[in-house]
Amino acid sequence: MDTRESAPEQRLSKPARLASGLAFGVCFGFLLQKGGVAKFEILIGALLLEDFTVFEVMLSAILVGMLGVHILHARGLVELHIKPTRYAANIIGGLVFGAGFALSAYCPGTGAAALGQGNYDALAMMTGMVAGSYLFAEASAWLARRVEPIGDRGELTLPQLTSVPKAVWVWGLGAVLIVVLALLKTASPS
């Protein structure tokens, strides 16, 4: 087993990687707050499908991230680390995340941004998130044995499933997201 770090990770020292992670996290939180998605009423509007601000911000982030990572990967500047597809774990995790979002109207990113702007109601969600993370860590060995093997498909990607090149998927989905964003903009009440 090769334990050497990959070429993209060798370019920065560990403290520099941590600092860049912190810088990107602060920028992400700032952009969430400036985009308005740290406001309780905006998040509730998204859950009720009355305000599309959250969808617009997140789809824009997905579009920029997807195209950016694709371009960086094509130039050999980053490596992709594909998470395995595990149906039971993915479904249960999605349901737990969705229930937490529906009950609190915050996800981890918007909760942290809301707390940062002084919305102290986000403290309850952040406390629940930390408690849930602790419980998950404590149960991770049991989950790895009992839940993760159910529907484990390995590192499954759409290009593998369809035999369509990754670039076609990325640029095609990029075009679809641009159309969806345009449609959301025309459907927004603002």
pLDDT per position as a tens digit, 70-114: 999 999 999 999 999 999 999 999 999 999 998 998 988 889 889
Least-confidence region, from 7-21, 60-74, 91-105, 147-161 = 7-21
How far apart are alpha carbons 43 and 58 in whole angstroms?
12
Domain that holds residue 71: 30-39+49-76+157-190
> Which DSSP string corresponds to 130-146?
HHHHHHHHHHHHHHHHH
155, with CB counted inside 10 A (0-12, 13-18, 19+), is exposed
Residue 3 lies in a domain: no
Are 98 and 149 found together in one domain? yes
Q: Which residues sit opposite 95 in a β-bridge? A: none
Pair (163, 70) in one structural domain: yes
Q: How many distinct structural domains can be found in the chain?
A: 2
- 108 and 165 co-located in one domain: no
What percentage of the chain has pLDDT greater than the value 70?
94
Residue 19 inside a domain? The answer is no
Mean pLDDT of 44-73: 93
Distance of CA 188 to the CA centre of its chain: 23
Residue 110, burial from CB neighbour count under 10 angstroms (0-12, 13-18, 19+): buried
Residue 9 has pLDDT above 80, yes or no: no
pLDDT cut 90: percent of the chain above it: 71
Does residue 100 share a domain with residue 148? yes
Same domain, 72 and 162: yes
Q: Are residues 122 and 148 in the same domain?
A: yes
pTM of the model: 0.79
Report the candidate in 14, 43, 30 with the shortest Cα–Cα distance to residue 117.
Answer: 30
Element (H, E) at 86: strand 85-86
